């Protein structure tokens, strides 16, 4: 896995080397990876949030710093899904209600919304989740004094025809995409406020990758199991990172491969 970690740092270095300085240039527009199944939201302090996978749509712009504010681009389909005690599901489009921020360069975004919006969908809610539709993008918030802001043409091209090309690249490696989605679900099922150790791995795998799903996509299951084996070994011999951070790192390795595929597809002749 060391080779993959080196590749991740190399791709960030490449972005930094060939892009205008972040202080004077808007960061990259990101493509949100569509969810096959809604990812669970965690609620605390009146805010419900989830981490979603993302790819970079603009190789030439600087990568976002952690905590960079984003917003859904026009047409992005983000849907709140709640299930009540009686099994009834309700949905609400929330693209205009969420806040977004980058977490780890361009590989992931935190999406949050007030808990009262979740509760407004009914009483006895036992599960709240977030669904991301296809072709969704996220735009960095405009910053005063930006000398190289995103132009309207740049936004329309990147979130329009180029986003369609990127979507095809995202879905081309079926195993990598499926494994990324599973790891993303694992991340969202682990607590943010307290560390989990390696003993949680078997139950986490059963929740997110049951035997039937593993049998249907053995290549993806192999990638997931390799990631979990790496984390189990890291947690055995090192005090850090905790399980959520380790799985996030493995997720980022996979989604960085996807971003590289997106970049190749968007280059002239790609």
Q: Which one has a higher pLDDT value, 210 or 10?
A: 210
Mean pLDDT of 23-50: 93
Going by their DSSP bridges, the two strands 108-114 and 47-56 should be labelled as: antiparallel
Q: Which one has a higher pLDDT value, 185 or 145?
A: 185
Contact 219, 175 (CB under 8 A): yes
113 vs 104: CA distance, rounded Å: 20
**Average pLDDT along the chain:** 90
pTM above 0.85, yes or no: yes
Is residue 79 over pLDDT 50? yes
Mean pLDDT of 79-106: 95
Under the banding of pLDDT at 50, 70 and 90, the label for residue 13 is very low
Q: What is the pLDDT of residue 177?
A: 97
Block residue for tokens 């802001």: 149
Q: Which residues of 107-124 are buried (b: 16+ CB within 10 A; e: fewer)?
A: bbbbbbbebebbeebeee
Give 221-255 pLDDT, tens digit per residue: 999 999 999 999 999 888 667 999 999 999 999 99
82 vs 89: CA distance, rounded Å: 6
> Tell me, what DSSP letter sits at residue 240?
-
162 vs 187: CA distance, rounded Å: 29
Mean pLDDT of 90-112: 97
Q: What is the pLDDT of residue 14?
A: 41
Instruction: Check whether the bond before 88 is cis (ω within 30° of 0).
Output: no
244 vs 194: CA distance, rounded Å: 10
Mean pLDDT of 142-162: 94
Is residue 7 over pLDDT 90? no
Q: What is the pLDDT of residue 213?
A: 83
Output the CA torsion sign for 227, 233, 236, 240. negative
Q: What percent of the chain has pLDDT over 70?
A: 90
Q: What is the pLDDT of residue 193?
A: 78
34 vs 261: CA distance, rounded Å: 16
Is residue 119 over pLDDT 80? yes
Q: Which of 65-74, 108-117, 192-201 has the lowest average pLDDT?
A: 192-201
Q: What is the pLDDT of residue 21?
A: 45
Paired tokens of 22:
């972040």
Q: What is the pLDDT of residue 233?
A: 94
64 vs 258: CA distance, rounded Å: 17
Give 213-223 pLDDT, tens digit per residue: 888 899 999 99
Q: What is the pLDDT of residue 11?
A: 45
Name the burial class of residue 126, with classes exposed (0-12), middle (13-18) and buried (19+) by CB atoms within 10 angstroms of its CB.
Answer: exposed
Name the burial class of residue 214, with classes exposed (0-12), middle (13-18) and buried (19+) by CB atoms within 10 angstroms of its CB.
Answer: middle
Is residue 4 over pLDDT 70? no
In three-state secondary structure terms, 115 is: helix
Q: Which residues of 226-262 are buried (b: 16+ CB within 10 A; e: fewer)?
A: ebbebbbebbeeeeeebbbbbbbbbbbbbbbbbbbbb
């Amino acid at each position: 896995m060391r080779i993959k970690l080196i590749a991740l740092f190399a791709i960030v270095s490449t972005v930094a080397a060939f892009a205008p300085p972040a202080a004077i240039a808007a960061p990259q527009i990101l493509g949100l990876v569509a969810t096959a199944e809604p990812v669970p939201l965690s609620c605390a302090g009146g805010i419900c949030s989830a981490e979603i996978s993302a790819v970079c749509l603009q190789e030439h712009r600087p990568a976002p710093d952690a905590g960079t504010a984003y917003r859904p681009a026009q047409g992005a389909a983000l849907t709140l899904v709640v299930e009540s005690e009686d099994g009834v599901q309700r949905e609400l489009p929330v693209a205009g209600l969420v806040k977004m921020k980058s977490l780890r360069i361009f590989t992931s975004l935190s999406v949050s919304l007030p808990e009262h919006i979740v509760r407004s969908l009914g009483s006895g809610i036992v599960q709240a989740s977030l669904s991301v539709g296809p072709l969704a993008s996220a735009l960095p918030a405009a910053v005063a004094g930006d000398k190289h802001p995103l132009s309207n043409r740049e936004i329309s091209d990147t979130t329009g025809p180029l986003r369609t090309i990127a979507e095809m690249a995202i879905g081309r490696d079926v195993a990598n995409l499926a494994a990324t989605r599973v790891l993303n679900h694992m991340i969202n099922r682990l607590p943010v406020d307290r560390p989990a150790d390696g003993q949680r791995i078997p139950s986490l795998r059963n929740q997110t990758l049951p035997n039937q799903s593993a049998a249907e996509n053995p290549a993806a299951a192999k990638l997931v199991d390799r990631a979990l084996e790496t984390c189990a070994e890291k947690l055995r011999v090192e005090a850090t990172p905790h399980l959520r951070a380790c799985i996030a790192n493995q997720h980022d390795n996979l989604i960085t491969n996807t971003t590289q595929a997106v970049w190749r597809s968007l280059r002239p002749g790609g």
